[in-house]
Chain A
């Protein structure tokens, strides 16, 4: 069955509040979370989703960390199709993610980066599938019975067909945007451009909303406005992940997060969720809860030189 045509968004002013953005995500949606690992993840929007009490989400993505771990802790997921969820060599395994997937509360449906890329490309091109040669011989083919094999009519070789993946909604945090919804991503865009083109709804938070003229003068990868449904000016919206050049990764806060998560689900709820998600009414209140301007200045200090930049990785949790 061919899928219906994809929407475009032409409203001239797409500025919304963070809560209005969160209200546009439904229970049980397939969600593509932008950014990756310790960088440019749409954390403020995810916290808003948790405050709203969303549940039943399926998440798709490449390499992620605290974003998916937090959604697991807040009970928002029913299935994870991520390729990686962890804290790398910094803090190791993702405790809330582990608890949710090991208990069966969240279905294990891991994917692989290129599989995801090809599935998104199929959706972007309006095609039902894309072929890959890889993955045959691994256990992913048993985990994903929806992948099909075919014999190539040109070469006779066996290929694996992966179906189009059209996320219901992409959540993206970018450095800059204008009120029409043009976005600029500086530094590695990870899979965000593919997410924006493949998803039915694109919700963006940005550090700064600027004029279209100012945006055009900037360096970076561009997401054209017609893919974007709505956006919100949300400074520090990726915290505690990095959003250079505005701020580096907050290792001190992540250490505190991970220490609480390692304890137990109950401890994480009282020590972290109640303090930084449910117990704060807005993103502005969150910024205050993490130390406001002092934290902002500490994380902007990466620009002061290599020694200052390096110091940010020596930060451990404050007691």
Chain B
């Protein structure tokens, strides 16, 4: 019997719970945690969700196993139909995409993400680029952000390079306010912006101003852990909750879907050893 789960499985469960039943949900490439969250949600609380796979644009695929590259026929297995690139982005532009999963090498307090370039004005480090994130961050109705690299350890010189920053060097994906602090509502976009951020240290929501706010911690993280790894003044909800672990059935499902443990490539080595007890009274399906 499964008695505990890993950090990856905790994050997948937390991300899966952000998905509503009946939503059309899309993930990008290189996003195994988001891919697994979507497959878990589709088999638990969101059975009517429309799952569209990044890169292949297959509708409701049932891949035999997760691959380390997303545009692979493995990932397209079992899809009931396939969209083409224009259809996928058109439906988002028309307001049909309920949720998109996005991430960044920098994520700021308004939920803007940078996956384009570090350093201004000169490119000090070229990041891979955001794919369609720039468009979908505006068009998708709701966005779930995630990063498994929130913790900012001190380097040899005692400095921290934050993942959660005051402001991004380049805004690839729009959050709740632009670089000048102008609220996204002014732009009249289809979508409402980031709803949650799931990190390896906690779960965040966004307040009425559109500012990120700590909402929940893991059983093994503290407010102090989050504070010292966050590059801006932390806002915190009144009553911080504890992130619930997945059910045994969900853990079993994740392990079945990802036998090659591709999602662990996203997790830092120090976090791979974290374990969380599963207190689950529900009967395990056969």
A138 and B174 form a contact (CB under 8 A): yes
Task: Please provide the chain B residues from 134 to 149 with a CB less than 8 Å away from any CB of chain A in the complex.
Answer: 134-139
Q: Is A115 an interface residue, CB under 8 A from the partner?
A: yes
Q: What 0/1 pattern do residues 60 to 100 of A give for CB contact below 8 A with B?
A: 00110000000000000000001111111110011001100
**B68's contact among A89, A112, A187, A188, by CB below 8 Å, is which?**
A89
Nearest CB of chain B from residue A156's CB, rounded to whole Å? 10
How many angstroms from the CA of A171 to the CA of B244 in the assembled complex?
49
A133 and B189 form a contact (CB under 8 A): yes
Q: Is A146 an interface residue, CB under 8 A from the partner?
A: no
A310 and B135 form a contact (CB under 8 A): no
A83-B130, A84-B131 in contact; A63/B138 too (CB < 8 A)? no
Residues on B with beta carbons closer than 8 Å to the beta carbon of A23: none
A86-B30, A189-B84, A309-B74 in contact; A134/B171 too (CB < 8 A)? no
Nearest CB of chain B from residue A107's CB, rounded to whole Å? 10
Nearest CB of chain B from residue A68's CB, rounded to whole Å? 10
Residues on A with beta carbons closer than 8 Å to the beta carbon of B131: 62-63, 83-84, 112-113
A108 and B76 form a contact (CB under 8 A): no
How many angstroms from the CA of A242 to the CA of B117 in the assembled complex?
29
Q: Is B247 an interface residue, CB under 8 A from the partner?
A: no
Q: Is B85 an interface residue, CB under 8 A from the partner?
A: yes
Nearest CB of chain A from residue B189's CB, rounded to whole Å? 6
Nearest CB of chain A from residue B28's CB, rounded to whole Å? 8
A249 and B69 form a contact (CB under 8 A): yes
A138 and B29 form a contact (CB under 8 A): no
A83-B131, A102-B126 in contact; A89/B30 too (CB < 8 A)? yes
Residues on B with beta carbons closer than 8 Å to the beta carbon of A158: 187-188
B133 (CB) vs chain A CBs: closest residue: A112
Q: Is A244 an interface residue, CB under 8 A from the partner?
A: yes
Q: What 0/1 pattern do residues 10 to 28 of A give for CB contact below 8 A with B?
A: 0000000000000000000
Residues on A with beta carbons closer than 8 Å to the beta carbon of B174: 137-138
- Interface locus among A35-43, A229-237, A273-281: A35-43
**A138's contact among B58, B65, B137, B266, by CB below 8 Å, is which?**
B137
B180 (CB) vs chain A CBs: closest residue: A137
A188 and B82 form a contact (CB under 8 A): yes
B69 and A132 form a contact (CB under 8 A): no
B129 and A85 form a contact (CB under 8 A): yes
A135 and B30 form a contact (CB under 8 A): no
Q: Is B265 an interface residue, CB under 8 A from the partner?
A: yes
A133 and B188 form a contact (CB under 8 A): yes
- Interface locus among A44-52, A190-198, A201-209: A190-198
Contact-residue bracket for chain A: 35 or more
A110 and B116 form a contact (CB under 8 A): yes
Q: Is B155 an interface residue, CB under 8 A from the partner?
A: no
A39 (CB) vs chain B CBs: closest residue: B71
Residues on A with beta carbons closer than 8 Å to the beta carbon of B260: 310, 313-314
Q: Is B268 an interface residue, CB under 8 A from the partner?
A: no
Nearest CB of chain A from residue B233's CB, rounded to whole Å? 23
Residues on A with beta carbons closer than 8 Å to the beta carbon of B262: 89
How many angstroms from the CA of A115 to the CA of B126 in the assembled complex?
20
A93-B128, A133-B188 in contact; A36/B55 too (CB < 8 A)? yes
Residues on B with beta carbons closer than 8 Å to the beta carbon of A113: 85, 89, 131-132, 135
A187-B73, A187-B76 in contact; A115/B129 too (CB < 8 A)? no
A89-B266, A158-B188, A187-B76 in contact; A63/B29 too (CB < 8 A)? yes
Q: Is A256 an interface residue, CB under 8 A from the partner?
A: no
B135 and A94 form a contact (CB under 8 A): no
Q: Is B125 an interface residue, CB under 8 A from the partner?
A: yes
Q: What 0/1 pattern do residues 48 to 74 of B give for CB contact below 8 A with A?
A: 000000011110000011011111111
How many angstroms from the CA of A133 to the CA of B92 in the assembled complex?
11
Q: Is B32 an interface residue, CB under 8 A from the partner?
A: yes
Nearest CB of chain A from residue B197's CB, rounded to whole Å? 18
Nearest CB of chain B from residue A249's CB, rounded to whole Å? 6
Q: Is A136 an interface residue, CB under 8 A from the partner?
A: yes
Counting chain A CB atoms within 10 Å of each CB, the highest count among B82, B138, B170, B184 belongs to B138
Q: What 0/1 pattern do residues 171 to 207 of B give for CB contact below 8 A with A?
A: 1111000110010100111100000000000000000
A88-B68, A102-B123 in contact; A133/B93 too (CB < 8 A)? yes
Nearest CB of chain B from residue A291's CB, rounded to whole Å? 21
Q: Is B124 an interface residue, CB under 8 A from the partner?
A: yes
- Given known contacts A114-B132, A137-B184, what 18 new A-B pairs fall within 8 Å (CB)? A39-B69, A88-B70, A89-B266, A93-B127, A113-B131, A113-B135, A132-B135, A133-B139, A134-B93, A187-B56, A188-B71, A188-B76, A188-B82, A189-B84, A190-B85, A242-B73, A309-B64, A313-B260
7 contacts between A and B (CB under 8 A): A85-B128, A88-B70, A89-B266, A190-B55, A193-B84, A251-B68, A309-B64
